């Protein structure tokens, strides 16, 4: 009997959909050995793309606090099957899995679909996904899903270039940028060759043994860690906790505090972050071993 693969994802721009579809291609090509089912999470009230700026920033507190919204029920063909592997594609919003992903994970459907099933997480982000993955792992553990692999594709350009291009993409819907800027997001070449990860994964699925899978994925470029960004994410989470708490506790002043958060975020990116980077580089020899361990940890599971 063919093994059953579920491709479960939410993709607002279509980028992540292309990536998970390409990863699934090697399974599609082996029709005698695998059946592939696709399930895109659907919200009762979806988020429009491109974003309006005020809507984007107003989504921050509920996203960060992982407050779910209603989703549409998954198809019966998804609910009534036991899958051998789930490829789980998710977006990161505000250093946290997106509201659609959290809404699914906190629904009654998630345990029915994911419990006792091997899961490979797939994300496509600007560059900061590490602590979001830690939050996602908590949900997978709660659901008794078995995390066996992680693929985290990012914009490979420098932090400041990617800020400019991603903001433009989100607000215009155009991934292609005007020169001299590169296209936003994960490169087209990397998306097109994502099937190589599917080829790697298939070897392990066929043997029902995932030992060594993550190491092989990492060796083939599936996870890039920039240690400096771990520090940025850690600080960001602390401050996001403060801002999200204030905004949710003061609904009558929500617009004002969301505006303050937006100002902080821009200042953090363009003023504070460069200072932190300089200090980080100066202290690298002192903390070299600690940072090496961080890389190893976040490249693993």
Give the β-pairing of 85-90 and 3-9.
parallel
Q: Which of 169, 200, 227 is the last residue of a domain?
A: 227
Shared-domain flag, residues 183 and 43: yes
pLDDT value at 63 more than 80: yes
pLDDT tens string 204-213: 999 999 999 9
- Say which CATH number the domain at 54 has: 3.40.50.360
Q: Which of 178, 204, 227 is the last residue of a domain?
A: 227
Shared-domain flag, residues 37 and 105: yes
Structural domain that includes position 251:
229-299
Give the β-pairing of 96-97 and 92-93.
antiparallel
Shared-domain flag, residues 151 and 273: no
Q: What is the pTM of this model?
A: 0.93
pLDDT value at 275 more than 80: no
Shared-domain flag, residues 218 and 171: yes
pLDDT tens string 78-108: 999 999 999 999 999 999 999 999 999 999 9
Shared-domain flag, residues 54 and 161: yes
Please state, in angstroms and as integers, the Cα–Cα distance from residue 125 to each residue in 65, 142, 257, 277, following that order. Answer: 19, 24, 26, 20
What is the average pLDDT score of the chain?
93
The number of domains in the chain is 2
Phi-psi bin for 144: left (phi > 0), alpha (psi -120 to 50), beta? left
Question: What integer pLDDT is reported at residue 117 of this predicted model?
Answer: 97
Question: What integer pLDDT is reported at residue 101 of this predicted model?
Answer: 98
Shared-domain flag, residues 147 and 266: no
| Contacts with 259 (C-beta within 8 Å, 6 or more apart), sequence order | 57
Shared-domain flag, residues 213 and 233: no
Shared-domain flag, residues 185 and 91: yes
How buried is 107 (Cβ within 10 angstroms: 0-12 exposed, 13-18 middle, 19+ buried)? middle
Shared-domain flag, residues 143 and 214: yes
Question: What integer pLDDT is reported at residue 146 of this predicted model?
Answer: 98
Shared-domain flag, residues 201 and 76: yes
Question: What integer pLDDT is reported at residue 179 of this predicted model?
Answer: 84
Shared-domain flag, residues 179 and 281: no
pLDDT value at 273 more than 80: no
DSSP 176: S
Shared-domain flag, residues 212 and 233: no
3-state class (DSSP) for residue 272: helix
Q: Which of 210, 227, 244 is the last residue of a domain?
A: 227
């Amino acid at each position: 009997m063919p093994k059953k693969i579920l491709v479960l994802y939410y993709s607002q721009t279509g980028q992540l959909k292309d990536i998970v579809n390409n990863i699934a291609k090697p399974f599609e090509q082996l029709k005698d050995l695998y059946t592939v089912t696709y399930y895109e999470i659907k919200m009762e009230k979806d988020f429009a793309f491109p974003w309006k700026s005020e809507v984007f920033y107003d989504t921050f507190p509920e996203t960060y606090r992982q407050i779910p919204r209603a989703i549409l029920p998954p198809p019966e063909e998804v609910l009534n099957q036991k899958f051998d592997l789930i490829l789980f594609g998710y977006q990161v919003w505000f250093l946290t899995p997106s509201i659609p992903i959290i809404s699914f994970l906190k629904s009654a459907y998630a345990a029915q679909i994911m419990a006792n099933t091997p899961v490979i997480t797939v994300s496509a982000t600007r560059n900061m996904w590490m602590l979001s993955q830690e939050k996602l792992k908590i949900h997978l553990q709660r659901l008794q899903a078995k995390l066996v692999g992680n693929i985290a594709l990012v914009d490979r350009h420098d932090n400041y270039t990617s800020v400019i291009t991603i903001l433009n993409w989100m607000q215009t819907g155009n991934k292609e940028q005007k020169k001299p800027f590169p296209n936003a997001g994960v490169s087209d070449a990397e998306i097109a060759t994502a099937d190589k990860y599917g080829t790697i994964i298939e070897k392990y699925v066929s043997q029902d043994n995932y030992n060594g899978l993550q190491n092989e994925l990492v060796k083939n470029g599936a996870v890039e860690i920039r240690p400096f960004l771990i520090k940025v994410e850690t600080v960001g989470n602390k401050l996001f906790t403060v801002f999200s708490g204030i905004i949710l506790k003061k609904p009558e002043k929500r617009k004002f505090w969301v505006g303050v958060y937006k100002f902080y975020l821009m200042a953090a990116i363009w003023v504070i972050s460069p200072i932190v980077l300089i200090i980080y580089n100066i202290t690298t020899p002192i903390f070299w071993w600690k940072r090496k361990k961080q890389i190893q940890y976040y490249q693993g599971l």
